[in-house]
Structure 1
Amino acid sequence: MSYKENNNIMKVSILSKLEALQERYKEIELLLSDANVIANQKYFKILSREYVQLNDIITHFSAWQELQKNIATVKLLIADPEVSEIADEELKDLLKKNESIEHQIQLLLLPKDSEDEYPCFIEIRAGTGGNEAAIFVGDLFRMYSRYAEERSWNVDILNVSEGEQGGYKEIIAKINGNGAYGRLKFESGGHRVQRVPETESQGRIHTSACTVAVIPELPEADLPEINMSDLKIDTFRSSGAGGQHVNTTDSAIRVTHIPTGIVVECQDERSQHKNKAKAIKVLSNRIYAIEKAKRQAQKASQRRNLLGSGDRSDRIRTYNFPQSRVTDHRINLTIYQLDEIMNGRLDNIIKPILQEHKADQLFEYEQ
């Protein structure tokens, strides 16, 4: 490939943005060495955070600027018959590096979802399939718990409703860890399992389903205000996992948000007041998630949206046990590593989904 065939120049709009960010980076660098700024710890921390956030993109941009100088120098050498052949080969290598670094810069410029860094709530519910669906809810919860363990995240169970033959009709947990929502947000939707249930005497393959909802845990200041008069609060006796006061105290709480009909139960704490506070917090985050989904639906284009409609009935993934196959229907990905996936090696699916999401963002950014 001749340099003439690949001599793209970075868009002026992108270049202007990068130059502005570079100036800001230098400005922060000076401010961070100012004694008055250092004395103001709150302001110093804010600037330090911004400096760290800019560091990666400015490092890439500086490398790109140096590369442009090298490309210009080599182009001049091509006119010299004695070194033109060598110069042409070197230019090809430089242009490949240029293409790669420009792609990296574009990715770094993509807007970041501030919610990605938050912890999250994960809600898993049995759908069609009866007892087998409840058993699969238990399998999925174990899968997410092992994934969380690999990433040194803590998992706190907030509420469970146990299945008659194992697993859970419903389980709600909080995953405490920086970046938990960003890694798991694409897990929301319908999950389908195809296998022979333990209760099946004829050896027939059954198809069952459950739904997963992943909701970011927002800071208190960002949560929507809830009018307490809109809430119906009931108490009941704890049962199942986490309910250590079974038949002892009415410590479990059920909160119903009358305007939306959303119901949240919490029974993991011995204190009724703590369960009430946790239930209301989950409720607030769930209301926020519903409002956000509505806003996204209004802005959605006709193009494919990796997050789907936000409806839990969206079938996003199938787990086929006889074939040891997992298929993610949104990105047409099929891998034959079912055992690894169920044991928490979820990055085998999560990474390709995140890459596809970035590709979608990049497509929109370039339009």
Structure 2
Amino acid sequence: MPPVLHRQAEDPGHRRPGCSLPGAVRQEGSRTEEERHREDQQEHVTHGAAGLAGPNPDPSADGPLAGIRAEHADLQEQLADPAVHSDAVRARKLSRRYAQLSALIDAEDALHAAEGDLQAGQELAEADESFAAELAGLQAAVDTAGEHLRNLLIPADPDDARDVILQIKAGEGGLESALFAADLARMYTRYAERRGWRTEVLSSTESDLGGYKDVSMAVKSKGSADEPGVWSQLKFEGGVHRVQRVPVTESQGRIHTSAAGVLVMPEAEAAEEVEIDPNDLRVDVFRSSGPGGQSVNTTDSAVRITHLPSGLVVSCQNEKSQLQNKEQALRILRARLLAMAAEAAAEEAADARRSQVRTVDRSERVRTYNFPENRISDHRTGYKAYNLQLVLDGDLDAVVQSCVQADQAARIAEFEAAAAS
């Protein structure tokens, strides 16, 4: 049986506990009374949800969703306040949470309705045996509704609604690896176009023959609370991607194996979400290289930022002005600090779970693109398909969903194990 993906993060009520980095302090590190209250509600729901492991969850008003319904009503009041919408980031977070809770409440209501139908059918069957044939279908409806509600109650990755910053770096293979990095960048750009997302190249270093030594790009959704966020779909792309093909530089027709590394990071929704002390930064400027117009190699517009406490280094040279390059570099730096903080929190968890998408820079091979066989293989889920060119043209839905489903299966297994203990 192929390995499944591990759980990515704790539930929203326990977001990144004890998350701290020198020189990078998250605003939500100091929890308010409201946040602590929300944690208590989520804990109540998670523990109470154990009753949903079977087909007949507790339908009473004091059941596992009592706290969720109270939070839902509170969010409805907040979203009705025009003052809330003056802060776009806060309004977006509240809307996403409201949509999440609405789905839970709708699922519980559907379960109660199915249970009511089953009870009515049982009463009719006692009076008239001809109704007994309907009971199996009514019981199946209850089981399906209960399973749907249980799945919704499984703690989700709190970053799923976020946009991402995606970095691709050429690895072993020289020019061929750089060309493959460009192929991956094009693949993700086409995939984003299919989803209605926007992409923006933040920084890139080109190689000969039109490849990329490295490229950083932002991928943004339309911000709809009803659609999956970019992180929920692209977080499994992190790791080493391997290509097997005859390079354009190969004169003997031999197949070579090259690789490129992909790093996917949830993007901070606002600069204030990750505070960076200016004293912790060393900013170097230098002349940009490669395509870029008349100002290339004539002005010190390129920027390299070193975050001294963590040792992270980010360079940007795509923009024409030094200020613009600095802003883009800081944007990437915030995302990397956010990812580091999340990984540090995962390491502190009692069961030492490690997010498999966070191991992108640890040489974990996740996928192979085999041109001679027209095959794409995901090494985590066992997914294989023989439509390589379609995938490289952005048709990534099937391979992405194989990862999403494997991750969901792992979450369900953890949930059931916790409910049984």
TM-score, scaled relative to structure 1 = 0.85
- Secondary structure of 1:264's counterpart equals strand
Structure 1 residues 239, 363: CA separation in 2 closer, same or farther (over 3 Å shift)?
same
- 1:88-103 equivalences under 5 Å are 88-103=132-147
> Residue 186 of structure 1: CA displacement?
1.0
Structure 1 residues 14, 151: CA separation in 2 closer, same or farther (over 3 Å shift)?
farther
2:393 aligned with 1:343, yes or no?
A: yes
Across the aligned residues of Structure 1 and Structure 2, the Cα RMSD in angstroms comes to: 3.0
2:160 aligned with 1:110, yes or no?
A: no
2:105 aligned with 1:58, yes or no?
A: yes
Per-residue CA deviation, residues 203-235 of structure 1 (Å, 9 max, x unaligned), is 221111110001111122221x33333322221
Structure 1 residues 56, 241: CA separation in 2 closer, same or farther (over 3 Å shift)?
farther
Structure 1 residues 117, 307: CA separation in 2 closer, same or farther (over 3 Å shift)?
same
Q: Which residue of 1 aligns with 2:236?
A: 186
Aligned-partner Cα distance in 1 for 2:357–2:278: 32
Alpha-carbon contact 2:261-2:361 (below 8 Å) kept: no
Aligned-partner Cα distance in 2 for 1:191–1:144: 13
- Secondary structure of 2:320's counterpart equals coil
> Residue 116 of structure 1: CA displacement?
2.0
Structure 1 residues 138, 294: CA separation in 2 closer, same or farther (over 3 Å shift)?
same
2:182 aligned with 1:133, yes or no?
A: no
Aligned-partner Cα distance in 1 for 2:352–2:75: 41
- 1:1-80 equivalences under 5 Å are 8-10=55-57, 16-22=63-69, 25=72, 41-42=83-84, 51-80=98-127
Aligned-partner Cα distance in 2 for 1:49–1:154: 20
**Length, aligned pairs only:** 353
Aligned-partner Cα distance in 1 for 2:61–2:253: 60
1:167 to 196, 199, 211: 211
Per-residue CA deviation, residues 33-58 of structure 1 (Å, 9 max, x unaligned), is xxxx9565428968776554432222
Aligned-partner Cα distance in 1 for 2:240–2:336: 18
- AA aligned to 1:202 is Q
Aligned-partner Cα distance in 1 for 2:162–2:98: 21
1:231 to 281, 284, 303: 281
What are the ranges of 5 or more consecutive residues in structure 1 without an aligned counterpart? 1-6
Alpha-carbon contact 2:238-2:358 (below 8 Å) kept: no
The structure having more radius of gyration, on CA atoms, is 1
Alpha-carbon contact 1:232-1:255 (below 8 Å) kept: yes
> Residue 280 of structure 1: CA displacement?
2.1
- Secondary structure of 1:256's counterpart equals strand
What are the ranges of 5 or more consecutive residues in structure 2 without an aligned counterpart? 1-53, 224-228
Structure 1 residues 199, 14: CA separation in 2 closer, same or farther (over 3 Å shift)?
farther
Aligned-partner Cα distance in 2 for 1:305–1:12: 35
Structure 1 residues 305, 88: CA separation in 2 closer, same or farther (over 3 Å shift)?
farther
Q: Which has the higher mean CA deviation after the structures are superposed, 266-275 or 174-183?
A: 174-183
TM-score, scaled relative to structure 2 = 0.75
- AA aligned to 1:199 is T
Q: Which residue of 2 aligns with 1:264?
A: 314
2:325 aligned with 1:275, yes or no?
A: yes
- Secondary structure of 2:210's counterpart equals coil
Q: Which residue of 2 aligns with 1:247?
A: 297
- Secondary structure of 1:307's counterpart equals helix
1:142 to 186, 194, 208: 186
Q: Which residue of 2 aligns with 1:3?
A: none
- Secondary structure of 1:147's counterpart equals helix
- AA aligned to 1:220 is A
Aligned-partner Cα distance in 2 for 1:282–1:358: 29
2:369 aligned with 1:322, yes or no?
A: no
Q: Which has the higher mean CA deviation after the structures are superposed, 242-251 or 160-169?
A: 242-251
Structure 1 residues 196, 343: CA separation in 2 closer, same or farther (over 3 Å shift)?
same
- AA aligned to 2:110 is A
Q: Which has the higher mean CA deviation after the structures are superposed, 264-273 or 252-261?
A: 252-261
Structure 1 residues 312, 123: CA separation in 2 closer, same or farther (over 3 Å shift)?
farther
Structure 1 residues 39, 324: CA separation in 2 closer, same or farther (over 3 Å shift)?
closer
Structure 1 residues 21, 307: CA separation in 2 closer, same or farther (over 3 Å shift)?
same
Q: Which residue of 2 aligns with 1:152?
A: 196
Aligned-partner Cα distance in 1 for 2:354–2:337: 25
Per-residue CA deviation, residues 255-308 of structure 1 (Å, 9 max, x unaligned), is 122333321111222221221122123112212212322322343748896536
Aligned-partner Cα distance in 2 for 1:103–1:215: 32
Alpha-carbon contact 1:115-1:181 (below 8 Å) kept: yes
Alpha-carbon contact 1:243-1:267 (below 8 Å) kept: no
Alpha-carbon contact 2:343-2:355 (below 8 Å) kept: no
Q: Which residue of 2 aligns with 1:359?
A: 409
Task: Work out which structure has the larger RCO, using CA pairs closer than 8 Å and 6 or more positions apart in sequence.
Answer: 2
Structure 1 residues 28, 120: CA separation in 2 closer, same or farther (over 3 Å shift)?
closer
Alpha-carbon contact 1:243-1:268 (below 8 Å) kept: no
Q: Which has the higher mean CA deviation after the structures are superposed, 279-288 or 132-141?
A: 279-288
